[in-house]
Chain A
């Protein structure tokens, strides 16, 4: 099933008199359960593409579909509704609310989706266990390491059971060990829950986890390759 489809999308930013063409006509289709990397140098349009898929932004022209629904024409509130139930975000900076504990950060999207207190408690307990942070539930972000914060962010993204998780440079601010741990958790959750992951990166160590690698250059898709994954067998054996 097609989670997202992008048709001939352009995005032009105007800053003062200067126009910057971030995307110049991109078409793309992502199937359910994919674990796909968007790669390319800085300024190639990775983040812009993620923001369009994530309903955070609207294309200058072209169409974006999520689960078969065109989202490029939605208004602010409709896009917020779409994000709330369907899309999870993981950012490069560990985008947690600093005044809320790990537990409360994960709880936030569940509150927005109107889950009951008992549903929320059960879900958060599961998610904290899934990202190996059960003992850090009541810690605030400033009491957690960068890797732990990013794992909380992953749990928060997964909380409302979205069909799609978008991660923008999720390991860029992490050391090698923590980056590896974050990618392994993402891979595992992709396989266990079937949720689709699309992540932007230019870190070769991260790219190796992807099943499909889409390369962007100057706002256009330069290459779109499915990788053979030796980890598949390893993980299957390990599991």
Chain B
């Protein structure tokens, strides 16, 4: 066995340039796939994290008959005394924070321009709203008792030509079906780097939003963030007695999970295509080696080496190529992934809105150990399979004809 690999290793050393390029082809293919897998992984976990952070939370508590699409403001569709409910949920051990939010449809008007917006009333002091506080690009954050201030997203500000201190007229639906209108002063402009979110959402302090929409002491939802999303079920069980319905992040973000599954099946096809291309390089290299060494194969057969063993020499060569290619591919792939983990890849406005999911405009790769191991195993198996045909070709040579060859 050792002799077999020693021989195979030396055989590969005869044409070092060709061996190097075969290994490089496999390495580049594998590196590309590791990068792709890590990119998809980064994109999907970006989508999930961003959507959880900005839109869904890990859990939401809502009134049984609340219809998200209608953004109903009727009292019977809302949670009563939300601050108290949020306080109770916050007391649970796995919960980072729970805070009420009130949603209302509205129209923003400034100068001659109007835009449809979603008004979100928030508790400015809650850490659940940190992404907006931290995302401030100019001006100040909202104070809980601010009665005239509003926070708007950068894309909306740019579209309407607004800046901090400018005034904006907001019209909103109310709980009794009327509309109310009020002039607000832009306190701050935020950016979550998620264009579809930032251009549609404006924030008011919860109390002001309740006052404007006539929903005193009610909220559309209790938005809950957990320390670890694996603890979701535990918290759901703890809250089960409540009259309200509980939505989990998996339920709210089914689209992301489905998209990820779809992306994974497309990627598997892509992996096979790339590895099949690199396999042809390996096949080509080994077929050339078989032709170049036909007479040697004849000599080995003459001294009594059986076809099986001759085959094993060539399979050993392809496994050495595979190991070399995989090792180099892991290094190249890891370097590329490390670069994109650091610097990210600008994808622009890829976010999907309306019950969909949110992706930030820069996607950072996320190294996937499982994907890398799977790809390496796949590359090894495919390279060995690629070696099978040349190896069989060598094993089936008639000794007499092989000995007659020029080389």
Please tell me if B10 contacts chain A, counting CB pairs below 8 Å.
yes
Nearest residue in A to B3 (C-beta to C-beta)?
A111
Nearest residue in B to A140 (C-beta to C-beta)?
B10
Q: List 19 A-B pairs, Cβ < 8 Å.
A: A76-B306, A76-B307, A77-B307, A80-B301, A81-B306, A83-B302, A85-B304, A91-B302, A91-B403, A95-B302, A97-B299, A98-B14, A98-B296, A99-B10, A104-B3, A108-B305, A109-B303, A112-B305, A160-B304
Q: Within the assembled complex, what's the spacing in Å between the Cα atoms of A97 and B307?
A: 17
Q: Within the assembled complex, what's the spacing in Å between the Cα atoms of A91 and B296?
A: 12
Q: Total A-B pairs in contact (CB under 8 Å)?
A: 68
B302-335 Cβ-contact flags toward A at 8 Å (1 or 0): 1111110100000000000000000000000000
**Cβ B302 vs Cβ A97 within 8 A:** no
Surface stretch bound by B, among A49-57, A121-129, A182-190, A217-225: A49-57
**Cβ B14 vs Cβ A99 within 8 A:** yes
Please tell me if A89 contacts chain B, counting CB pairs below 8 Å.
yes
CB distance from A50 to the nearest CB of B (A): 11
Q: Which of B300, B399, B403 contacts A97 (CB 8 A)?
A: B300
Interface size, chain A (Cβ < 8 Å) = 31
Interface residues of B in 6-40 (CB under 8 A from A): 7, 10-11, 13-14
Give chain A residues whose Cβ lies under 8 Å from the Cβ of B301: 56, 80
B279-311 Cβ-contact flags toward A at 8 Å (1 or 0): 000000000000000011001111111110100
Give chain B residues whose Cβ lies under 8 Å from the Cβ of A80: 301, 304-307
Nearest residue in A to B11 (C-beta to C-beta)?
A99
Q: Within the assembled complex, what's the spacing in Å between the Cα atoms of A177 and B303?
A: 28
**Cβ A89 vs Cβ B303 within 8 A:** yes
- Given A77-B306, A83-B303, 12 additional A-B pairs, CB 8 A: A56-B399, A56-B400, A80-B301, A80-B305, A89-B303, A95-B403, A97-B300, A98-B14, A98-B296, A99-B13, A99-B14, A112-B309
Q: Within the assembled complex, what's the spacing in Å between the Cα atoms of A43 and B233?
A: 88
Given contacts A57-B400, A99-B7, contact A81 B304 (CB under 8 A): yes
Give chain A residues whose Cβ lies under 8 Å from the Cβ of B11: 99
Give chain A residues whose Cβ lies under 8 Å from the Cβ of B10: 99-100
Interface residues of A in 62-105 (CB under 8 A from B): 76-77, 80-85, 88-89, 91, 93, 95-100, 104
Please tell me if A156 contacts chain B, counting CB pairs below 8 Å.
yes
Interface residues of B in 163-194 (CB under 8 A from A): none
Q: Within the assembled complex, what's the spacing in Å between the Cα atoms of A97 and B295?
A: 10
CB distance from B306 to the nearest CB of A (A): 5
Give chain A residues whose Cβ lies under 8 Å from the Cβ of B295: 93, 95
Q: Within the assembled complex, what's the spacing in Å between the Cα atoms of A51 and B7?
A: 27
CB distance from B277 to the nearest CB of A (A): 30
Interface pairs A-B: 6 shortest CB-CB? A84-B304, A99-B10, A83-B304, A95-B299, A57-B400, A80-B306
Q: Give chain B's interface residues, CB within 8 Å of chain A.
A: 3, 7, 10-11, 13-14, 295-296, 299-307, 309, 399-400, 403
Give chain B residues whose Cβ lies under 8 Å from the Cβ of A97: 7, 296, 299-300
CB distance from B295 to the nearest CB of A (A): 7
Nearest residue in A to B9 (C-beta to C-beta)?
A99
**Cβ A89 vs Cβ B302 within 8 A:** yes
Nearest residue in A to B395 (C-beta to C-beta)?
A76
CB distance from B401 to the nearest CB of A (A): 9
CB distance from A93 to the nearest CB of B (A): 8
Give chain A residues whose Cβ lies under 8 Å from the Cβ of B304: 80-85, 109, 112-113, 160
Give chain B residues whose Cβ lies under 8 Å from the Cβ of A91: 299, 302, 403
CB distance from B7 to the nearest CB of A (A): 7
Give chain A residues whose Cβ lies under 8 Å from the Cβ of B14: 98-99
Give chain B residues whose Cβ lies under 8 Å from the Cβ of A95: 295, 299, 302, 403
Q: Within the assembled complex, what's the spacing in Å between the Cα atoms of A77 and B306?
A: 6
Nearest residue in A to B12 (C-beta to C-beta)?
A99
Q: Within the assembled complex, what's the spacing in Å between the Cα atoms of A173 and B303?
A: 21
Nearest residue in B to A76 (C-beta to C-beta)?
B307
Q: Within the assembled complex, what's the spacing in Å between the Cα atoms of A126 and B305?
A: 23
Give chain A residues whose Cβ lies under 8 Å from the Cβ of B403: 56, 91, 95
Nearest residue in B to A83 (C-beta to C-beta)?
B304
CB distance from B395 to the nearest CB of A (A): 10
Give chain A residues whose Cβ lies under 8 Å from the Cβ of B7: 97, 99-100
Nearest residue in B to A108 (C-beta to C-beta)?
B303
Q: Within the assembled complex, what's the spacing in Å between the Cα atoms of A119 and B279?
A: 41
CB distance from A145 to the nearest CB of B (A): 19
Q: Within the assembled complex, what's the spacing in Å between the Cα atoms of A96 and B7?
A: 13
Nearest residue in A to B303 (C-beta to C-beta)?
A109
Q: Within the assembled complex, what's the spacing in Å between the Cα atoms of A96 and B300?
A: 9
Give chain A residues whose Cβ lies under 8 Å from the Cβ of B296: 97-98
